[in-house]
Chain A
């Protein structure tokens, strides 16, 4: 059974940094694209970033490009989202997702964790 568990969320001031982690189990981790999606309070879903199975290829939404960095440690079955220069508008519930294949099409994620909350205060 696929299991994903995010951690690392919390309260940070504008301009600060935070690193989110997503621990995965139940599948061959390095064989799948992993993604981050977020949801601001009362708002819809927003794709944030994806990373290929080897970690060599990364992709970002324009809203976070240059501020967020996605990475993965395939020896630890964990994907990370390093967030810097945080803004109030980055406040959201961040979900980690497993894509259906090691390919960037098909879907950003088909299995999702419960999420971790990031709050950026001014």
Chain B
């Protein structure tokens, strides 16, 4: 059973830069896993940030970026703002129509 790994929690100072990663328990993440990133605040539906690694969803600010860094997918937030404080989830495509979510990263801006 493939496990998708994310940092359980991260913190960033206002105006700072933070990188969230999305990896595999075995192997490397590449673009063929079509990494997708979601932002979710309590009580709200997920908001799509990026799909297919770095295709930005409508309305997502330029200070958010998606990429592959080394063996993992990455979501970088530059110039962090208070309202970036959220849960962030990645999901990877395992082929044959199957998707697996990571456990999520709780981002604190302080």
Q: Which residues of A contact B (CB under 8 A)?
A: 35, 37, 44-47, 50, 57-59, 61, 95, 100, 104-115
Contacts of A95 in B (CB 8 A): 45-46
Q: Which residues of B contact A (CB under 8 A)?
A: 34, 36, 38, 40, 45-48, 51-52, 55, 57, 87, 89, 91, 93, 96-104
Rank and list the top 8 A-B pairs by shortest CB-CB distance, nearest first.
A59-B97, A107-B51, A47-B99, A44-B104, A112-B45, A107-B36, A104-B97, A110-B48
Query: Looking across the interface, which residue of chain A has its beta carbon closest to that of B89?
Result: A45
Pairwise interchain contact B51-A100, C-beta atoms closer than 8 A: yes
Q: How far is the CA of A107 from the CA of B90 in the complex (A)?
A: 10
A contact face: mostly helix, strand, loop, or mixed? loop
**Closest chain B CB from A5 CB (angstroms):** 11
**Closest chain A CB from B91 CB (angstroms):** 6
Q: How far is the CA of A119 from the CA of B39 in the complex (A)?
A: 25
Pairwise interchain contact B89-A114, C-beta atoms closer than 8 A: no
Known: A47-B100, A109-B48; 5 extra A-B contacts, CB below 8 A, are A59-B96, A104-B97, A105-B52, A107-B91, A110-B51
A107 with B52, Cβ < 8 A, contacts A44-B89, A45-B38, A112-B46 known: yes
A114 with B48, Cβ < 8 A, contacts A45-B89, A47-B91 known: no
**Closest chain A CB from B20 CB (angstroms):** 14
